[in-house]
Amino acid sequence: MAYAQQSPRIYNTVKTKLKEGKQVVGGTVSSPDPEVYCAMANAGFDFTWIEMQHSVLSYNEVANMIRFCKGASAMPFIRVPDATEGDIQKAMDLGAAGIIVPMVDTVEKIKNAVKFANYPPIGVRSQGGGQYGAMWGADYRQIANANLVVVAMIENPKGVEIADQIAAVPGVDVVFIASTDLGSFSGFKQGQPEYEALVDRIKAAVLAKGVKLGAPHAWQSTRKDYTLFQAASETALIKMGATAALKSGTMTSGTPRGVAPIEGSEKH
């Protein structure tokens, strides 16, 4: 007698939202402080964009950050330094729910990222140790592939040329347009016809493959058809919050104006 195969348990809320066509926003984190990370992870973002390409964060620090804030509403995504086997497997072993791959300008690079991030039969991720089980459950090995989100970043004209091939790689969920670097490498600025032609080329190629588009958060309210967004860093948000608090005359939320909060009652 044949039995129906059970669908894997999905814990990655970003994976679910992407499949439902919903937009998701991630806050950028570069600080190794677990409390700062937890504040970002519980601030209302869909995911955290843990920045390991342009920061001095170590894998040990990131593991501590994620473990400290187990159960946070935001899924931990890591922008790895590169699509190497060591970088990606360590990121997955410490509990990442998403892998963000920078500077994708060859098909081989994103294929390797997918391969190293997934267990067989999809990829070649090995069964090393790690805190993934403590984060996501004893059945992690059976459900990890189904929960993974892979984001490929296009940052230069070489990547633009093969955007359709990048989006066609099985296992790629999102192709992200890195707006600043695209301008840096192309020599054009946002709004210039040459720059917008590069963006339009990526957009058309990616959407034609049925893959989601990613972009900076500033584009969410001004451009259509984007699904995943990178928001500001914790330092930028601290500055914005402090400025807003000083202007409003109150440094707390949830208490009447002129009433000081009870020390230790602040929510993190």
User: What pLDDT, in 10s, does the model give residues 88-109?
Assistant: 999 999 999 999 999 999 999 9
The mean pLDDT of 68-78, rounded to a whole number, is 97
pLDDT digits (tens, 9 = 90+) for 180-237: 999 999 999 999 999 999 999 999 999 999 999 999 999 999 999 999 999 999 999 9
- Mean pLDDT of all residues belonging to the chain: 93
Domain with 99, as residue range(s), is 13-127+143-242
pLDDT digits (tens, 9 = 90+) for 19-43: 999 999 999 999 999 999 999 999 9
Rg for the chain, CA atoms, rounded: 20
Catalytic positions, written as ranges: 54
Domain contains 254: no
User: What is the rounded CA–CA span in Å between residue 91 and residue 87?
Assistant: 6
User: What is the rounded CA–CA span in Å between residue 23 and residue 16?
Assistant: 11
Q: What are the b/e assignments for 80-116, b being 16+ CB within 10 Å?
A: bbebeeebbbbbbbbbbbbbbbbbbbeeebbbbbbbb
Residue 234 near residue 28 (C-beta atoms within 8 A): yes
pLDDT category at 249 given cuts 50, 70, 90 is confident
The total number of structural domains that make up the chain? 1
Q: Does residue 3 register a pLDDT over 60? A: no
Domain contains 81: yes
By percentage, how much of the chain surpasses pLDDT 70?
91
Within a 10 A sphere around the Cβ of 76, how many other Cβ atoms? Answer: 26
Domain contains 205: yes
Q: Which long-range contacts (CB under 8 A, 24 or more apart) does 206-209 make?
A: 206/163, 206/164, 206/167, 206/175, 208/164, 208/167, 209/164, 209/167, 209/168
Which CATH number fits the domain that encloses residue 58?
Answer: 3.20.20.60
Domain contains 1: no
The mean pLDDT of 59-88, rounded to a whole number, is 97
